[in-house]
């Protein structure tokens, strides 16, 4: 490890570093909130044949850049599935909660089942050298087709949108990023991806749900915007999740219009 991470473990708490700051102000970014909850759920699972298949994160209130603790409880443990409830606290206040479904892997049925075909642009190679100080690489696609852009300006159009993400630092200092933790962080990207319009991002997400048929293989995670629906300031969007081998699941985010304020990082030009 290189000593750079989003959180440092301190007893039963996790202390956010400045890297954990989100785009909406002096708060922890929602993807790191969900990622940390996913990390603790996975850490506490003692059965390697149980695969995290669904994670729903409710972002109840802004989480300040202050220590957090995550509590989990198993609400159902069967032979083939386990249900886990989790909550993140700052002091007595709950800032986020989540539920997770873990399923036992087994034999795959032989028949192919039809699914809507979705094509992702190929992930670009890592820059050489990787710019110093970056915590992740984000390539967006949109108004210029399959041409990748660093920054979110490519989404400023009324058309298809895609993104590839490559994490560069661990979530928790001293702990290698697992495939599920990376997926839990990437699930939050569905909100900005599906709710970004020609004039920028005007919705802030209240939750997201990640579903996985398998864990990702390799360091790249991609999302393709599939749907957006909004009315009277309430929006929902769905994206398909990819690794380099193909689709592995989906992510859905519910959001509220946030008039009069747009996150600075959502206005990065190409």
Residue 3 is predicted with a pLDDT of 57
Q: What is the pLDDT of residue 150?
A: 86
Stretch 131-153: mean pLDDT, rounded? 91
For residue 269, the model assigns a pLDDT of 35
pLDDT in the model for residue 266:
46
Per-residue pLDDT tens for 205-252?
A: 999 999 999 999 999 999 999 999 999 999 999 999 999 999 999 999
pLDDT in tens, 14-58: 999 999 998 778 899 999 999 999 999 999 998 989 999 999 999
Terminal alpha carbon distance of the chain? 31
């Amino acid at each position: 490890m290189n000593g750079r991470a989003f959180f440092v473990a301190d007893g039963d708490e996790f202390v956010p570093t400045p890297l954990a700051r989100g785009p909406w102000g002096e708060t922890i970014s929602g993807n790191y909130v969900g990622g940390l909850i996913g990390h603790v759920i996975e850490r506490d699972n003692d059965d390697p044949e149980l695969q995290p298949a669904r994670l729903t994160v409710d972002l109840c209130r802004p989480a300040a850049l202050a220590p957090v603790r995550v509590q989990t409880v198993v609400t159902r443990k069967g032979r083939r599935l386990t249900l886990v409830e989790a909550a993140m606290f700052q002091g007595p206040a709950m800032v986020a909660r989540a539920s997770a479904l873990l399923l036992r892997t087994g034999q795959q049925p032989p028949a192919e089942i039809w699914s809507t075909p979705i094509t992702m642009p190929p992930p670009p190679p890592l820059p050489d050298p990787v710019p110093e100080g970056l915590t992740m690489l984000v390539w967006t696609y949109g108004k210029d087709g399959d041409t990748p852009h660093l920054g979110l300006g490519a989404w400023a159009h009324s058309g298809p949108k895609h993104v590839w993400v490559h994490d560069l630092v661990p979530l928790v200092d001293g702990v290698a990023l697992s495939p599920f933790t990376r997926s839990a962080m990437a699930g939050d990207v569905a909100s900005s991806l599906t709710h970004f319009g020609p004039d920028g991002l005007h919705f802030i997400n209240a939750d997201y749900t990640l579903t996985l048929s398998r864990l990702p293989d390799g360091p790249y995670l991609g999302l393709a915007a599939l749907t957006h629906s909004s009315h009277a300031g309430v929006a929902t969007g769905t994206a398909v999740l990819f690794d380099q081998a193909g689709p592995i699941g989906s992510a859905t985010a519910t959001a509220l219009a946030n008039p009069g304020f747009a996150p600075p990082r959502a206005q990065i030009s190409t």
